[in-house]
Structure 1
Amino acid sequence: MLTSMAMLLLMGLLLGRVFRALHLPSLIGMIITGILLGPYVLNWIDSEILSLSGELRQIALVIILTRAGLSLELSSLKKVGSASLLMSFLPATFEIISITILAPLLLGMDTVSAMILGSVLAAISPAVVVPRMLKLMDEGYGNNYAVPQLIISGSSLDDVFVIVLFTVFASLSASEGIQFSSFLRIPVSIILGILLGVVIGIIFVYFSKMFHMRDSVKITILLSISFFLLEIENILTDYIPISGLLAIMAMGTTIHYQYPLLAKRFSLKYDQLWVVAEIILFVLVGASLNISYVGNVGIKSIVLIILALGVRMLGVYFSIIKTDFPKKEKLFTILAYTPKATVQAAIGGIPLAMGLPFGEEILAISIVAILLTAPLGAFLIDSTYKKLLSR
């Protein structure tokens, strides 16, 4: 297991550096590392690591979303107003509707399976988007109009919205019928997640001011609280919907609001943690991809993904149409809202595991979407932000 972990980290770091030297996103090298080392090619990653893959990827998401919260200023979100809320559901809704229409025409899917596919593909990847937006904020790009802050908040809420819809559509396909109360889980999950994070953030700030200790100890406590929040979400899921990831991000934002100096120091520590967490996240995403499925869906799946992305971009445009963004900032926001990776890797195989119709096709298309949009979205962000955003 330790040998596998060492190989995973070193090769992921090496290939990531190679792709960065080629002026391409390093995550491409990390995903390729996972594909090569994973069970479907060389099979050099220990099965114990693969069995913990979901938990390890969640830890990586915890780190980057906490880092995002620690840098997110509420005053910045006020600049964009309702656009922040619209970005959390409108682009995903546009994409789901387009796939629901197109998938039966291109792939012969029934309507419910197409809805499931749409909910799998519609989620944006915080793991791709958030670290890049944090980099932009640190370098001073886009802050005049709060573009990075808008994208960070929207992408986090977007995932909650899409995952709840996926659960509803999967239940419908399994003949459990649509429970309209399930749709109430979306706002309830978001509101309770934010409230819980705010309360815990306030308590943590009070605790930090009352008891003096090293920042490394405080970081350990903060990480432990984050893991508890995810477990609370799992425990309460059948009773009260609550988003653990949103609670984590809200906790970080509250710390920034209540104690900016501490948040700044924590941000530096989380940046260091992300160096390792990023490699683990994207290498394990690559290891979860069974490339043999890709050949089963053909060119039509790529056409579907591209057309749906175009409709998604239209949804982003309508979300920000009333903002005072200049044209270049609007174009960047549209381009930045395209990468998909972590959510697709997490839920793309569930329909197949449930024995739902077109489960294999849904998994294959989710793999194609990751391989196509994660590198493309990262490249578009990295190559355009200096040209499109004011500094």
Structure 2
Amino acid sequence: MLASALLILLGGFFFGQLVKRLGAPPLVGMIAAGVLLGPQGLDLLGSAVLGSAEALRTVAVMVILMKAGLGLDRQKLKEQGTVAARLGFLPAACEAVVVALAARYLFGFDLLTGLLLGVILSAESPAVIVPGMLRLKSLGWGVQKGVPDAIMTGSALSDVLVLLLFSLLLGFAGGEGAHGLTLGALTLTPLQALPLRVLVEILLGLAVGWLAARLTVHLLVKQNWTESAVQDVIVTASLALALVLGATAWPVYSGYLAVMAMGFFLVLYSAPFARRVRGEFDGLWTVAEIVLFVLLGATVDLSVLGSVLLPGLALLAVGLLVGRMLGWLLSTWGSNWTWGERLFLLPGNMAKATVQAAIGALPLAAGVAGGEVILALSALAILVTAPLGAWLTQLTAPLLLQKGEVDPTKVAVATQALILAAVDTSSLADEVLRKAAALARQSDGKVTVLHVAEDTSPAALEALSARVTQNLLDVRHRFVTAAGPTAEAILREAEALNATEVVVGKRGHRPAWQVPIGSVSQALLERSTLPLIVVEGAAEAPRRVGVFRARRGRP
């Protein structure tokens, strides 16, 4: 068990990084690592790990859906609410119908079996789509119109429809029939009851997520039952996992939708708490992502692909390019989306993985004619669309989407803190270095220490370098020198490094906002567009720190 876990984590990480360096999404390498380590390859993973693959995938999907809920933008969803709702139903429905019709000619399926195949292949994978959309949000692509939010919400709603249709069609195809619904004197057939069941699952999923969020905020924020962010995320993740497991035991609501709703309502009821647990869930996803996609690759059956490869690829292409494209056009009809944003739905919404892995083998187990072909096509859909969709999403976003300002209250900004600390050879340098070190420790950032050298002797530079090492011993840092006027050199270096903030020192006993005209600090305050932290020396007065954010050349 431990050896298998070690192989999954290290193999998934290094294969993912290798593929990332080649320009493709890391998950492609993780899936490849799973194929290599699993029964289709070297068969190095223990049966206990493979047997628990479904449970581990459930945990990983819960983590990414909670991250999605914590990152949803209420205002953007309000603006694009109808588009998100239509994306939850129309693309999957159109693709299922087109696949069913094409399967009659490519595989000789009857209409019922074709629809069963179409429903399986039309399911979207939040585990692949959501990480890509969160990355785009962190970079600002499509955020002005809420394109990533609409896609994430649509993918969660889509799975509600797909799973209900699948259970209905499987009952008919397996010869067991399907259960209708009786409401007093009114009896509905299974097909007539389907819209009502979809609506009930969605509404109950939202309600359960709302109740979980209220309970979490009451216990952890108002009652202070926890003492650290780690305890916060343990309780929050446990409640979210309980929602998913509860939906399995009592399938009257959508567990995945409930988890996403829980994250969304946490932001509404306690934004500081949501920000705190969002950072912890980012850490959980680092591990969960590797486990999810390595096990996905390990459990895909490659042996069944040979006989269906070429017609299967044709079927996937027809379903995506005809069925889904029609659904995407209908979903965005009458909206303010540009044609580029509509075209982005092709790569952004095409990935298939978790649902196909979960239900692809059920028709074969139920004795449905053609079940082995359905299983093979499910595996093919995973291997083709998951890596291709993830790769094309990142490749086409800069070409098709508009870039807007990132909202750090909704999603982690995809930048690392890089602090520029400007020092001289006086005793004030230690104060500046200690402040820069404290900021770097808080944000796990890097520090570049700059000394503008004029007539500094080699011995003084060596002594200053030793002080830098002493103060920044546990922080990633480097020491550089520059020439020229001091203020200009600091601004030039900050721009070249793309620094996130600048720390400088000021001698004197007056407050930092009363620095003398002509000083380095004053020049930086007037000209810097970056956050500027001015540290006052401890020798002349009690140490104070002034923080300024200069904009458009004004302090």
Give the TM-score band, short-chain normalised.
over 0.9
Q: Which residue of 1 aligns with 2:387?
A: 375
From 274, 286, 302, the equivalent of 2:313 is: 302
Q: In the TM superposition, what is the alpha-carbon distance from 1:183 to its structure 2 partner?
A: 4.7
Partner of 1:335: 347
Counterpart of 1:37 in structure 2 is 37
Q: Deviations over 1:236-294 (max 9, x none)?
A: 12xxx111111111010000111112212211111111111011001111111110100
Q: For structure 1, which segment, 270-279 or 330-339, has the greater mean C-alpha deviation from structure 2 after superposition?
A: 330-339
- Map of 1:48-197 to 2, 5 A cutoff? 48-178=48-178, 179-180=190-191, 181-197=193-209
Shift of 1:208: 2.4
Give how far 1:35 is off: 1.1
Where does residue 317 of structure 1 map in the other structure? 329
Partner Cα separation in structure 1 for residue 208 and residue 330 of structure 2: 31
Letter of the 1:248 counterpart: V
What is the CA-CA distance between 1:141 and the residue it aligns to?
1.6
The whole-number CA distance in structure 2 between the counterparts of 1:185 and 1:81 is: 21
> Which amino acid is 1:360 matched to?
E
CA offsets, 1:190-249, max 9 Å, x none? 110111101221221122222332111111111111121122212212xxx111111111
- The structure in which a higher percent of residues are strand is 2
For residue 259 of structure 2, what is the aligned residue in structure 1? Answer: 248
Question: 1:366 maps to which residue?
Answer: 378
Determine the C-alpha separation between the residues in 1 that align with 2:100 and 2:401.
Answer: 34
Contact 1:147/1:333 (8 A) holds in 2: no
Match of 1:217 among 216, 231, 236: 231
Match of 1:278? Answer: 289
Q: 2-side partners of 1:158 and 1:252: how far apart?
A: 19
**Separation in structure 2 between the aligned mates of residue 139 and residue 92 of structure 1, nearest angstrom:** 28
Alpha-carbon shift at residue 182 of structure 1 (Å): 4.5
Distance in 2 (alpha carbons) for counterparts of 1:368 and 1:333: 21
> How many Å separate the matches in 1 of 2:281 and 2:221?
20
For the residues of structure 2 that align with 1:361 and 1:114, how far apart are their CA atoms? 11
TM-aligned CA distance change 1:390 to 1:359, over 3 Å: same
Q: Quote how far apart the aligned CAs of 1:367 are.
A: 0.8
Percent identity of paired positions between Structure 1 and Structure 2: 38
- Number of positions where the alignment pairs a residue of Structure 1 with one of Structure 2: 388
For residues 388 and 376 of structure 1, what CA distance do their matches in structure 2 show?
Answer: 17
In 2, Cα distance between the equivalents of 1:158 and 1:222?
Answer: 25
Query: Is 1:263 aligned to residue 274 of structure 2?
Result: yes
Distance in 2, matches of 1:335 and 1:281, equals: 21
CA distance in 2, matches of 1:261, 1:140: 22
SS in 2 for 1:297: helix
The DSSP-based 3-state class of the residue aligned with 1:207 is helix
Amino acid at match of 1:294: L
Q: Output the CA distance in 1 between the equivalents of 2:73 and 2:271.
A: 10
Which residue in 2 is equivalent to 1:205? 217
**Aligned counterpart, 2:300:** 289
Q: What is the CA distance between 1:176 and its match in structure 2?
A: 2.3
Residue pair 2:30, 2:293 contacting (<8 A) in 1 also: yes
Match of 1:228 in 2: 242
Pairing partner for 1:349 from 347, 355, 361: 361
Which whole-Å CA distance do the structure 1 matches of 2:194 and 2:333 have between them?
Answer: 30
Q: Which has the higher contact order (CA 8 A, sep 6+)?
A: 1
Within 5 Å, which residues of 2 pair with 1:1-40?
Answer: 1-40=1-40
Counterpart residue identity of residue 316, structure 1: W
In 1, are the aligned partners of 2:81 and 2:150 still within 8 Å (CA)? no
Change in Cα spacing, 1:58 to 1:326, as seen in structure 2 (3 Å) is same
TM-score for both structures, normalised by structure 1 = 0.97
Q: Report the TM-score when normalising by structure 2.
A: 0.68
Amino acid aligned to 1:45 = L
Q: Quick check: 1:73–1:256 contact (8 Å CA) kept in 2? A: no
Question: Could you list the runs of 5+ residues in structure 2 that have no partner in the other structure?
Answer: 179-189, 404-555
When structure 1 is superposed on structure 2, of 272-281 and 316-325 the one drifting more is 316-325
**Residues 71 and 263 in structure 1, CA contact (< 8 A), matched pair in contact too:** no
Structure 1: unaligned runs, 5 residues or longer = none
Which has more radius of gyration? Answer: 2
Query: Could you tell me whether the CA contact under 8 Å between 1:313 and 1:335 is conserved in 2?
Result: no
| Aligned pair partner of 1:385 in 390, 394, 397 | 397
**CA deviation vs aligned residue, 1:309-364 (integer Å, no higher than 9, x gap):** 11212211210122111222222133311111111111111111222111100000
Cα pair 2:62 2:244 within 8 Å, conserved: no
- Aligned equivalents of 1:283, 1:184: Cα separation in 2: 37
